[in-house]
Amino acid sequence: MTGETHRARAREEEHGPLVPLALDTVRRLLALDAGHGARAALPGVREALRRFPELSADPAGPPGHDSDELAALAELCEVIGWILFDAGRYRAAHHANLRALALAERCGDRATARLVLLNHSMLQTQLDRPRAALASVARVAGPRALPALVDSLVLVRRAHAAALLGGGARAARLIRRARSRFLDGASPADPPWAWWIDRTELLGHHGWVLARLGEFGAAVPLLHEAATAPGPSYRHLFTAELLAALAGAGAWREAEDLIADLAPRAAAIGSARTTETLGRAAAHLLGRADAPPNARAAAAFLRESLPARPAPDRRARS
């Protein structure tokens, strides 16, 4: 018996069977992330990694579990990778994604493997590696056509990468296709994890891609609609991207109004990606010589209101 298997059996003797325990951990982590943000979920992530040593093992190592257990571990590891990513722990997220992918592929869980690849593409885009992001997305395809919601997310990821590569017309086409594909509607072939791909998500990404292309006037109304719709905590990112687009468009008064709303609650934002984007937007406003004094003062106030955090770990390698 390996040390890993021994620890796994000891855990099951203490806490019960692996599958319900792992899936209950998934539910608790997702609820924390949706309600309070990735930073609030980090203690739960650390506890999960302690309780499930299989999640920290070498991705190529022997699993010592049956297919149902591997699938549950893959799902949990995918959620952990997402939370680590949104919390700015990029190197740890990279490792979690590789482990989740290895577990999913070992038990033939194609749906989870696809989600991990799409998450990993997002991480690579965040790290300014658009070609690696496109390579990850390319692995999502299979012998059959993708269901509508999965395909729409594939197109979203490709659009962001294309925008970073300077392909403005291509990025705009891809994001329009993503929204069109979403309108085809969910089908029984879409995986259970696709529940969060909705109209608001597509609106926000459409605006974000346009902002990446410098089309701020077109981006602002889309981002505004996405940012003001009810939704999980991680969608505060669309609010941050809205502020960045307003600054890019020179919409000073609107930027001031948004900062006045944001700054009092900025310290409680749980997404490191969101606070990083807000920090960059504030710095951009402060550096704009044509910005009025009130806008620059608001930007300084926002920067002071953001939670202090270590510099993001950008050392992940693909």
- The full DSSP string for 36-62 is H-HHHHHHHHHHHHHH-GGGGS-TTS-
Q: Does residue 199 lie within any of the structural domains?
A: no
Q: Does residue 145 lie within any of the structural domains?
A: no
Instruction: Provide the 8-state DSSP code for 143.
Output: S
Q: Does residue 155 lie within any of the structural domains?
A: no
What is residue 11's predicted lDDT score, i.e. its pLDDT? 45
Choose among 166, 156, 153: nearest CA to 213.
166
Q: How many residues does the chain have?
A: 318
For 52-56, the CB contacts below 8 A with 24+ separation are 52/8, 52/11, 52/18, 52/22, 52/25, 52/76, 53/4, 53/7, 53/8, 54/4, 54/8, 54/103, 55/80, 55/96, 55/99, 56/95, 56/99
Assess contact for 122 and 145: CB atoms under 8 A.
no
Q: Does residue 255 lie within any of the structural domains?
A: yes
What is residue 14's predicted lDDT score, i.e. its pLDDT? 47
Q: Does residue 288 lie within any of the structural domains?
A: yes
Q: Which of 83, 108, 133 delimits the end of a domain? A: 108
What is residue 232's predicted lDDT score, i.e. its pLDDT? 81
What is residue 10's predicted lDDT score, i.e. its pLDDT? 47
> Who contacts 23 (Cβ-Cβ below 8 Å, separation ≥6)?
72, 75, 76
Q: Does residue 192 lie within any of the structural domains?
A: no
Q: Which of 73, 89, 108 delimits the end of a domain? A: 108
Cβ count near 15 (within 10 Å): 12
For 204-208, the CB contacts below 8 A with 24+ separation are 204/235, 204/237, 204/238, 204/241, 205/156, 205/159, 205/160, 205/175, 205/178, 206/175, 206/176, 206/178, 206/179, 207/238, 207/241, 207/242, 207/245, 208/160, 208/238, 208/241
3: tokens are 């040390």
Look at the chain and report how many structural domains it folds into: 2
What is residue 308's predicted lDDT score, i.e. its pLDDT? 74
Q: 59-76 pLDDT, tens per residue? A: 555 556 788 999 999 999
What is residue 231's predicted lDDT score, i.e. its pLDDT? 82
Domain containing 218 equals 212-309
**Ranges in the chain, pLDDT < 70:** 1-16, 58-64, 309-318
Assess contact for 299 and 286: CB atoms under 8 A.
yes
What is residue 258's predicted lDDT score, i.e. its pLDDT? 96
What is residue 135's predicted lDDT score, i.e. its pLDDT? 97
Q: Does residue 154 lie within any of the structural domains?
A: no
Q: Does residue 116 lie within any of the structural domains?
A: no
123: tokens are 């991480």
What is residue 314's predicted lDDT score, i.e. its pLDDT? 53
Q: Is 128 helix (H, G, I), strand (E, B) or coil?
A: coil
Q: Which of 108, 137, 157 delimits the end of a domain? A: 108
